[in-house]
Amino acid sequence: MNRSLLIVVGFIFLGNLMAQDPLELKWTLSYEDEDTPGNLRMAEATVPGAVQLDVAKEEGYGPYYYGENWKDYLWMEDREFVYVSNFLKPSMKNGERLVFRSLGIDYEFEITFNGKKLLYQEGMFTPVRLDLTSLLKVNNELRIRIFPIPKKDSESADRSQAAASVKPAVSYGWDWHPRLVPSGIWDDTWLEILPGSHLENVSVQYTLNEEMDRAFLKVEAAGRDLAACSINWSLLDSSGDKVDMGYLNSYRNRGVLYTELVNPQLWWPHDHGEPYLYTYTIELADQSGKKLQTYKGHIGFRRVKLVMNEGAWAEPKGFPKTRSVAPIQLEINGQKIFCKGSNWVNPEIFPGIITGERYEELLDRALEANFNMFRVWGGGIVNKESFYELCDSLGILVWQEFPLACNNYEGTPEYLAVLKQESESIIRRLRGHPSLAIWSGGNELFNAWSGMTDQSMAIRLLNSQCLELDPFTPFISTSPLMGMGHGHYVFRDQETGDEVYSTMMRAHNTAYTEFGMPGPSPVEILEAIIPGEELWPPQAGTSWESHHAYNAWVGDTWLMKDMIEEYFGRATT
């Protein structure tokens, strides 16, 4: 075999073409009264968002982050909610199609249109695409029924209830997160009118030769009624100059093009080079040459590997041994990268309200701090698309964990079916981003409190999914693995008296993928979340405890007032 070919593969897969002119839907939310089951209430719904926020606004609840208000929201966990959107039939040309699209509905739901059930789905990361054309009337009603949040049977009201679902465990309660479990339409949702002939899926794959001076591309497109259409491809460099163009050969509503780019500019993390992005355009045109549909996307050519550090095969010492420390040295385009950054957790308790502007604000700060990687922690969501697009353009690497954390996730056929569906959707959406550097099965799965091993069916499934769908992006079963470190999380260990500096100096890890220090929030934040009469002095059993200043892990975490006063003196205000 010619060793100069097929060394590394990159994917750009766009399972859903974004709407060019989305039609906005107005939504209402119906729900049963808290105190009178069967008594229906109605609220205006904000989409994307969460049912809890809509109900809270209608009922006049205080902000969930203030005082003990979060407790007012708990009853909603066990109720059903129904989103309703009524709309008139839009003006459509002959042959055009009306399609409903949603990038995320949380978590278990059923969709009906004009009284006909179209879809039942469990899973918040698999997008929805439904052609409504054949059921259209003058007056139309779209309904989305949201079932109660999933809870594993016979478990206490904590993160263990998340072990039967592919849903972020953090929302079930964590040592820094209240028990507020979001539900509802959490990502962009719209109607769109498509021409009778239209594209539905686009896939761009590339291979780099060993020298990384030639890229071999395979461009694929699939859609509806494409027989009489042409599918055109063009590739532009960062200056806007066209460096490649061609036509996809179509057969049975699918088109394919094989093409080659000589001396491609490579994508690099920002501190090692330029995060170079090409822009591609795929256009669908009819027989007369009229453009029916246009899609633009980005490609960053790069090779990523996870390799052993020098001397790692000798650790641990002794013979025989079952395994050495895990490979965790990241290599981009043949160059070893020293990764420095942070864990990424949900920047909002309700992910539906996270915006592209919020992502941009936080990622810009990370860039200013000279971060070059985020570990997207497995207790939270898989981020919205704009997060990864920003990481691509800023040159920030992404360690992406699947949404499994600190639980023993079931190996039942029912759970594995949902995990397979959700992981496939996640992989297909993210695998084309050059910033994606590592897949991980989840957070802290190989330990006594989780009880999973590399033989657990969920881990074996995720490994298989990544191997099949994104084989050249590294996969690890969980974090940490042998040779990797999590913790400590306090400045001084209360049992040994060691300060964090000495702990880190003694550490012998190929990666330190999670640690941190507690610290009180600025005064203006404390005043915004804790009632004035409770603000001073801090005490357990008050809003301070609800905000994880006390008894979050042990008695004085995470405020650790005594330790602060030991170092800085007694506080009086």
Helix axes 356-368, 385-394, angle to 10 degrees: 30
How distant is the alpha carbon of residue 467 from its chain centre? Answer: 19
> Do both 208 and 289 map to the same domain?
yes
Cβ atoms of 105 and 184 within 8 Å: the answer is yes
Together in a domain, 215 and 190 = no
Q: Which residues of 252-266 are buried (b: 16+ CB within 10 A; e: fewer)?
A: ebebebeeebeebbb
Contact present, 29 and 43 (Cβ < 8 Å): yes
In tens, the pLDDT along 288-325 reads 999 999 999 999 999 999 999 888 888 778 777 777 88
Residue at a domain's end among 246, 271, 299: 299
In this prediction, residue 3 has a pLDDT band, given cuts at 50, 70 and 90, of: very low
- Indicate whether 170 and 98 sit together in one domain: yes
- 118 part of a folded domain: yes
CB of 458 closer than 8 Å to CB of 415? yes
Are 528 and 511 in contact, with CB atoms under 8 Å apart? no
For 8-37, how does the pLDDT look when each residue is reduced to its tens digit (9 = 90+)? 445 444 434 544 579 999 999 999 988 887
With CA atoms as reference, report the closest residue to 119 among 98, 142, 141. 142
pLDDT surpassing 80 at residue 41: yes
Domain membership flag for residue 487? no
pLDDT tens across 85-139, in order?
999 999 999 999 999 999 999 999 999 999 999 999 999 999 999 999 999 999 9
Q: Where would I find the beta strands (DSSP E) of 464-573?
A: 475-476, 484-486, 511-514
Evaluate whether residue 436 is within a structural domain: no
Question: Among the three residues 194, 210, 239, which one is the final residue of a domain in this structure?
Answer: 194
Q: Report how far apart, in Å, the C-alpha atoms of 391 and of each of 348, 372, 380, 453, 497 are.
A: 19, 9, 18, 32, 39
- The answer as to whether 85 is a domain residue is yes
- Cα separations (Å) of 444 from 213, 339, 398, 448, 481? 39, 20, 18, 10, 9
Do 42 and 152 belong to one domain? Answer: yes
Place of tokens 């739901």: 109
CB 99 within 8 A of CB 141: no
**201 lies in the same domain as 76:** no
- CATH number of the structural domain spanning residue 243: 2.60.40.10
Nearest to 308 by CA among 463, 469, 474: 474
Same structural domain for residues 174 and 135? yes
- Tell whether 482 is covered by a domain: no
Whether residue 230 sits in one domain with residue 148: no
Q: Give which of 86, 39, 32 is closest to 55, Cα–Cα.
A: 32
The predicted pLDDT at position 8 comes to: 42
106, β-bridge pairs: 184
- β-partners of residue 228 are none
- Domain boundary residue among 157, 173, 194? 194
DSSP string for 370-431: T--EEEE-TTSPPPPHHHHHHHHHHT-EEEEE-S-BSS-----HHHHHHHHHHHHHHHHHHT
Q: CATH number of the domain at 50, please.
A: 2.60.120.260
Average pLDDT, the chain: 94
Provide the domain limits for residue 140. 27-194
Domain count, the chain: 3
> DSSP code of 537?
S
- One domain, residues 141 and 257: no
208 with 140, same domain: the answer is: no
Predicted confidence band at 385 (pLDDT cuts at 50, 70, 90)? very high
Residue 287 lies in a domain: yes
User: Cβ-count burial of 522 within 10 angstroms (0-12 exposed, 13-18 middle, 19+ buried)?
Assistant: exposed
Q: For residue 7, is pLDDT > 50?
A: no
The C-alpha atoms of residue 194 and residue 19 are separated, in whole angstroms, by 9
At which residue do the structure tokens 């690099």 appear?
A: 268
Tell me whether residue 438 is in a domain.
no
43-47, 274-278, 520-524: least confidently modelled range:
520-524
Please check whether residues 171 and 235 belong to one and the same domain.
Answer: no
Distance of CA 542 to the CA centre of its chain: 34
84/45 Cα distance (integer angstroms): 9
What pLDDT, in 10s, does the model give residues 247-288?
Answer: 999 889 999 999 999 999 999 999 999 999 999 999 999 999
Query: What's the pLDDT at 15?
Result: 39
Per-residue pLDDT band for 528 (boundaries 50, 70, 90) equals: very high
Residues 190 and 223 in one domain: no
Give, in order, the Cα–Cα distances in Å from 151 to each of 177, 381, 540: 18, 17, 29
Residue 256, in any domain of the structure:
yes
Same domain, 256 and 166: no
Q: What is the per-residue pLDDT for 9?
A: 44
pLDDT tens digits for range 412-462 = 999 999 999 999 999 999 999 999 999 999 999 999 999 999 999 999 999
At residue 36, the pLDDT reads 83
Percent of the chain with pLDDT over 90: 84
User: How far apart are alpha carbons 534 and 537 in whole angstroms?
Assistant: 7
